[in-house]
Structure 1
Amino acid sequence: YLARAGLSVVLLERREVVGGTAVTEEFHPGFRNSTASYTVSLLHPKIQADLRLAEHGLKVVERPLQNYLVEAPGHGLPLGPTLADTARALAARGSADADRLDPFHAHVDQAVELLRSQLLRTPPTDLSRWRDLWQAIAAGRAFRALSIPAQRAVLELFTRSAGDILDGWFEDPGLKAAYGFDSIVGSYASPYTPGSGYVLLHHAFGETNGKPGRWGHAIGGMGSITQAMAREVERLGGRIELGAPVRRVVVERSQARGVELEDGRVVRARHIVANVNPRFLYLRLLADTDVPESLRTALRNYRCGSATFRMNVALSELPDFSGRGGGEELLHRSGILISPSLGYMDRARHGRCRLPAIRNALRDPAVKVPNAPTGCARSWVRI
């Protein structure tokens, strides 16, 4: 976007590939996979259009199923691809929750509409400035314009726990587990942690190929997204320099004027954008004298880490599901959840579970991407 605005852009990347956590890399000879982020839904259509990602080769295919919750051998709960499909799966197991899906999603959608209206607005950061104050007032007016039930839905989803919300709507432990799983992904939280209800919005908030609430796979892995972005940067005249780790930010007269690379070179600029962890930026790349002590103290106390362990696996063939006797093609292209109940996840959070909550995904040949040898498959396991 900076290059689109006519600025001269230089991108300095520490690694030999751009993309951060959205990269596709070889993890075993002949096998490639998205090594961190893994699915597409929250990449805004306007960003995709503005950056011409499709023209640069990005293609996203929808998941035929959103997720599959593994239960007893031969049993499980498929979610999606539509609410009607999920309702049929619930009805087939005699669950009364089949009739509660539409009202629940209508409740969630009330909050989704407010979020979508604010998504591309810059959030206010300094209310002493008129522009930021006006933005805050505009956001408040958008909230006040909602109906009373919609205001309650927004407040509930942002303050209550996912577990409490789901317990109030549904009875089926499998459905609650499948919906509640996303509230703990990448987080130190339990599904009963206050505020985790926000993640329930992800079921309706994102979209794939113009279809709200759908999730998809980027052909070629998540790295195909950032590679398409890199091609647009270069098309607009920007320069990308790989293998260029930054040693420190150059500060002169209390202003950031450039960066010094580890090879000793200094790159100067009028504006510097740091797409790095804030603790790394303020505690490592900036000198102590350039950062107020109050901010340094706050960042030292800022809990920052990963609550998950991920492993990429090369497979000789796609696995079978015990007791199903076939018909697993769609399951191989969905997220596979091993986490039978909200209580199980809560116990896992507190270290009282025999096994952790697990999300697994299988790739190739079900998703036609040339990222594994013919007849083989890839999988990743996230714990």
Structure 2
Amino acid sequence: MDVIVIGGGHNGLTAANYLAMGGLKVCVLEQRHIVGGAAVSEEFHPGFRNSVASFLVSLLRNEVIEELRLSEYGYSATVVETGFYPDSNGDYLLLNGDDLHDRREIARFSNSDFDNLNDFHTVVDKVGAVLSEQWLREPPRLHGGGVSDLLDAVKLGLDIRKLDAEARWRFLQFFLGPPDTIIERWFDSEKVKAMIAASITPGNYASLQQPGASLAMLHHAVGEVAGEKGAWGIVPGGMGTITQAMAKSALDKGVDIRINASVEKIIVESGMVKGVRLLGGEELFAPIVAANTDPNRTFLKLVGKEHLPDAFARDIEGFRQESASLRINLALSGLPDFACLPGTELAEHHRSSMMMVESKDHIEQAYASAKLGIPANPPIIEALIPSTMDDSLTDEPDTHVMSLLCKYMPYELADGEHWDDAKPRVFEQIMDHVQTMVPNIREIVVGHQCLSPLDLERMFGMTRGDICHGKLEPDQLFSARPHPDAAQYSTPVKGLYLCGSGAHPGGGVTGAPGRNAAKKILRSL
């Protein structure tokens, strides 16, 4: 065996594919009964299946799709054309990309914000394109870099220089300024401000006043679905279709995939990796280990501080991991009846990507609550009814599944309360809030799955339930993700590499860290 990959999530499977393409013998070890990590489809209630954790695709790199021939193994994606922003006051925004419709819709709140939104998206697209160019590049070294690192830094500088003067200025604002300043600069109406502000929240645990928090907005704006830039989409069969396609591709290349194989320890001797020890005591040996686990779990739990330089270990202890996310999957006997757009016949808003946010103040209040250890009530909710576009998710006709990503749910609760005790109460609070927008929601819910931050940690091994394996903030990106001595996928432990979202470029279902790490390993041989 040449390489052991710890974790059969999408990045681990991506790395395994590329390593096998390079002629190496690879073994993937997955702790659960199914590969996929957080990109997985499972039955959560009899007759109802859904993407259990991540539920939208956009950031998956075209290079990964094409080079692994994922379409031949069952992958496809459907663009979600519409964005729907209901609130508890019975108002809403419904934007579908048709200029005439969207101008008229936004004009209910502002005569200028349609043009402002187009101008804003133009700048975001320009700045996002520069970021996207870096995603498949190894970030330059901050410590002891050579000529290649200098050239990489020059490439980044040249990419930024290609931007016009205003875009360069906005680039700096996104990196260094707080989201609130950007939002107030661009928009007039509170409704549109809330819509834009909410876009920083998925996978991000930050205030609108926090410098650099806008980077999460850019990170999620560089995607593409079916050739449509900036689009988000669903995958028929759920997000598990992606990772099942990756697994099939890997198996065809001779990769050995083992499920129910939880790694207890990375074996290190004299500063070099030797293999891994599984729960139960079995040991597997290989000169290279690629860890798809997050930095905290990889270095502090699997390797152990005793095998790391003291300063490096202290820095990893300070690497910030928490996304304050809670996931709910609902099994529905029918369609939600929204107060702002009444009716249970399938309509455009049912087939949309939804963001349930009241205002900018709502986001700030939710953040302030979470910082005190109190789950936001009401939370910010990103939602989707994927069964309106994919009827394979339920067994019975006219039944549906609904995904809710609830934001500002802290990992550590006030007064030492345990999430297992708090979860039923928090679920009911969330449903109470949803009911202000969807009066019939309790009538149609026939089953549910609620995953707290602690559940996400237990199920998927994500420290503190962080769906991005580390905050997407300026000092934790590029050449500092997760540390200057581990930002190029290699680590202070010889033979140990990072291939997960805790490495550059960060979170999301991208495949980029897995691809980049595999190419780094192959170059090192």
The alpha-carbon distance between structure 1 residues 332 and 274, as it changes in their structure 2 partners (threshold 3 A), is: same
Structure 1 residue 89, shift from structure 2 partner: 1.7
User: Which residue of structure 2 aligns with residue 118 of structure 1?
Assistant: 134
* CA–CA distance in structure 1, aligned partners of residues 282 and 181 of structure 2: 54
User: Which residue of structure 1 aligns with residue 436 of structure 2?
Assistant: none
User: Which residue of structure 2 aligns with residue 340 of structure 1?
Assistant: 358
**Aligned equivalent of 2:312, options 295, 300, 303:** 295
**Aligned equivalent of 2:184, options 151, 162, 167:** 167
User: Which residue of structure 1 aligns with residue 208 of structure 2?
Assistant: 191
The alpha-carbon distance between structure 1 residues 83 and 274, as it changes in their structure 2 partners (threshold 3 A), is: farther
Is 1:25 paired with 2:36? Answer: no
**Aligned equivalent of 2:146, options 95, 106, 129:** 129
Is 1:247 paired with 2:264? Answer: yes
* CA–CA distance in structure 1, aligned partners of residues 127 and 110 of structure 2: 30
* CA–CA distance in structure 1, aligned partners of residues 45 and 200 of structure 2: 31
Identity value in percent: 34
Whether contact under 8 Å (1:34, 1:221) holds in the other structure is yes
* CA–CA distance in structure 1, aligned partners of residues 306 and 216 of structure 2: 39
The alpha-carbon distance between structure 1 residues 94 and 264, as it changes in their structure 2 partners (threshold 3 A), is: closer
Q: Deviations over 1:34-58 (max 9, x none)?
A: 1111101111111111111111001
Structure 1 residue 298, shift from structure 2 partner: 2.2
Specify the code of the residue in structure 1 equivalent to 2:106.
L
**Aligned equivalent of 1:368, options 385, 390, 402:** 390
SS in structure 1 of the partner of residue 102 of structure 2 = helix
Normalising by structure 2, we get a TM-score of 0.69
Is 1:16 paired with 2:33? Answer: yes
Structure 1 residue 261, shift from structure 2 partner: 1.5
* CA–CA distance in structure 2, aligned partners of residues 291 and 212 of structure 1: 42
| Pairs within 5 Å for 1:221-240 | 221-240=238-257
User: Which residue of structure 1 aligns with residue 301 of structure 2?
Assistant: 284
* CA–CA distance in structure 2, aligned partners of residues 7 and 354 of structure 1: 51
Structure richer in helix, relative to its length: 2
Is 1:96 paired with 2:88? Answer: no
**Aligned equivalent of 2:347, options 329, 347, 352:** 329
Q: Deviations over 1:69-120 (max 9, x none)?
A: 1135553101334566533321355532122222222222221232233232
Whether contact under 8 Å (1:249, 1:256) holds in the other structure is yes
Whether contact under 8 Å (1:256, 1:272) holds in the other structure is yes
The alpha-carbon distance between structure 1 residues 26 and 337, as it changes in their structure 2 partners (threshold 3 A), is: same
Whether contact under 8 Å (1:81, 1:214) holds in the other structure is no
User: Which residue of structure 1 aligns with residue 195 of structure 2?
Assistant: 178
Structure 1 residue 164, shift from structure 2 partner: 1.5
Structure 1 residue 347, shift from structure 2 partner: 1.4
Structure 1 residue 287, shift from structure 2 partner: 3.5
Q: What runs of 5+ residues in structure 2 fail to find an aligned partner?
A: 1-17, 371-375, 407-525
Structure 1 residue 328, shift from structure 2 partner: 5.5
Whether contact under 8 Å (2:273, 2:289) holds in the other structure is yes
Specify the code of the residue in structure 2 equivalent to 1:368.
D
Whether contact under 8 Å (2:32, 2:262) holds in the other structure is yes
Structure 1 residue 213, shift from structure 2 partner: 1.1
Q: What runs of 5+ residues in structure 1 fail to find an aligned partner?
A: none
**Aligned equivalent of 2:87, options 47, 60, 71:** 71
SS in structure 2 of the partner of residue 351 of structure 1 = helix
Normalising by structure 1, we get a TM-score of 0.93
Specify the code of the residue in structure 2 equivalent to 1:97.
D
**Aligned equivalent of 2:226, options 189, 209, 215:** 209
